[in-house]
Amino acid sequence: MSDGSGLLLDRSPDAARVSLGLVGGAPADADGDYLRVSDPATDEPVGWVPYGGAAQARAAVDAASAAAGPWRAATPDVRANLLRKLSAAMLDRTDALARVLTREQGKPLAEARGEIAYAASFLDWSAEEGRRVTGEYLEASGANRRIVVMRQPLGVIAAITPWNFPAAMITRKLAPALAVGNTAVLKPAEQAPLTAMAIAALATEVGFPPGVINVITGDADAIGRAWLGDARVRKLSFTGSTEVGRLLVERASTHLTRLSLELGGHAPLLVFDDADLDVAVRATLSAKFRNAGQTCVCPNRVYVHASVHDAFMDRVQAGIDRLVVGYGLDAGVHIGPLIDDAALDKVRVHLDDAREHGAIVRTGGRLGAPRAGLSPRFCTPTLLDAVTASMQVAREETFGPVLAVQTFETEAEAIALANSLPYGLAAYAFTRGLARALRVSEALDFGMVGMNETTVSTAQAAFGGTKLSGWGREGGKWGLEEFLEVKSVTFGV
C-alpha cells in the first residue's frame, strides 16, 4: 500500500531483509508498518525499515539522554578511538556498504565506494579534532576577576539527512557531534535508509556504548515534530530542501532549538576568457554528472564568456558523449537512475520548459530505461545551449544530469548573474588571472567557492551556504563548533 506520498508501506515484509535501526543499543521498536526501500534502477525491493513516528522518536531521545552523561564524561581519547574504529570498519567493509548504497540510491558502484571512503574521512578527522577542543582564560576589567571560557557539548543532538549521499551525510553530522561529547538521534531519508542502518550496526560492533547513536526511520514529519517538541534535543542538524528547512525553523521556535541547515543550492559556474579550458571542461563534467546531477553543490548554471563559448561547448559535448548511462552495479556505468518518479518528473518539466523557450539540446535529453529490465527513471546526460535566465533550468535546482549554458560579456555581468538568485551554497569560476580569481572569490555571495576546481567538500573544509541555502557549517573545525556550547565562568579571586 502507499501512504499517498509515494511511500510503499507493508505490514508483512520479507523478514530476512528487514533493518530495524538502533535505539539504546537494541533494535528499534517495529510495531506497525514497514517502509519498502526499492532499487530506483529496477524497482526491486532492497529491504524494509520500520515506519516509526512520535513514539519511536521519543524512545530514541530517551536512549540518547540516558547515554549523554557517561559519553560526555568519557575522555576525548576514548571517543576518538571509537570513531577511528568505526572508520576502519567502514573501510574494511567498503564493498558491502557500497553495494547497499548503490542498490538503494542508484549511483554507480565506483562512486558509492568513493562515498564510503569520503564518509569515513569525517570520522577520522573529527576524532583528531575532537581532542583539540580548548577553552580560554581572560583577565576581566575588574581587578579581582578572571574569566574562563569553556566549550562544552550540547547534550542530545538530532540529525535528519537526505538520500543523495546516504553514508556521507550521516558521518558528516555524527562524527563532529560525537567527537565533542554529544549523543545523537538520527533519521535518514526514506528513499535510502539502509546504508545508515548498516553504519549504525557497525558502530555497535566496534563498541559504541548503547544510546550514543540511535537511528530510526519512518514518518519524517512526525519524527521532526517530536524532536523539535522535545526540550532535551538541543540541536537539529538538517540537510535537505529549503522548503522543509523553513518548516523546521518554525517548529524550532518552541524550544529555540539550535539549527544547522544545509539546504538547496543552484550553483553557478563561470568560465572566463582567460580560463584553461581543458581544466574547466574536465572539472565541469565531473562535478555536473556525478550522482546523475543529484548533488546540492553540482553546477546548475554555466556562464561562459562569449569568446570561448564554441570551444567550451564542443569539448563538453565530446566529454558527455563518452558517458555511459545504466545500472549502477554494471561495469563501466557513469550515470545511474534518478532517485524516484518525482525527480524524473522535475527533469522532464525543466527540459520541456527549456525546449519550449528556445534552448537548443546539443546532446542528450532522452528520458527512459537505457536497457530492458530497468526502470524508466533515467536521463541521458544533456547539454543545453542558448539558455536564458527566465527558463526553469536557470532558476531552480534541476537535480538531474542537465548542463545548462548561458553566455556573458564582462566580469561584472558574470558576477551579477551568479549572485542573482536567492541561493548561496557553492559557486565555481575558471580563470588564469590571479587578480581576477581573488576579485571573483570575494564578490561571489556563496558559502563555498571553487576556483579552477570543483571539489569543494572535504573533511577539513567548511561546507555550508548563505541566503536560502541555509545556516551553519559542516566539516573542519567549524563542523565541531556547531555542536559546542560556549560557557563563560567568571571567578572572583
Residue ranges binding ligand ADP (CB under 6 A): 160-162, 187, 189-190, 220-221, 224, 240-241, 244, 247
Dihedral sign, Cα of residue 138, residue 140, residue 145, residue 150: negative
- Which cell goes with 14? 520479507
Between 35 and 179, name the residue whose CB sits nearer to ligand ADP: 35
Between 260 and 363, name the residue whose CB sits nearer to ligand ADP: 260
Q: List, by residue number, the catalytic residues.
A: 262, 296
For residue 227, count other CB atoms closer than 10 A to its CB.
28
Between 252 and 484, name the residue whose CB sits nearer to ligand ADP: 252
Q: Facing residues of 383 across strands?
A: 363, 403
Q: Report the distance separating Cα 194 and Cα 176, nearest Å.
A: 22
Laid out side by side, the sheet with 9-10 consists of 9-10, 34-38, 45-50
**Nearest distance in Å: CB 143, ligand ADP:** 52
**Nearest distance in Å: CB 200, ligand ADP:** 15
Between 110 and 220, name the residue whose CB sits nearer to ligand ADP: 220
DSSP β-ladder status, 360-363 and 299-305: unpaired
**Nearest distance in Å: CB 361, ligand ADP:** 26
Q: Facing residues of 284 across strands?
A: none
Between 201 and 220, name the residue whose CB sits nearer to ligand ADP: 220
**Nearest distance in Å: CB 77, ligand ADP:** 33
DSSP β-ladder status, 145-153 and 233-239: unpaired
Q: Which of 227, 178, 224, 81 is nearest to 484 (CA)?
A: 178
Between 136 and 221, name the residue whose CB sits nearer to ligand ADP: 221
**Nearest distance in Å: CB 260, ligand ADP:** 13
Q: Report the distance separating Cα 394 and Cα 330, nearest Å.
A: 33
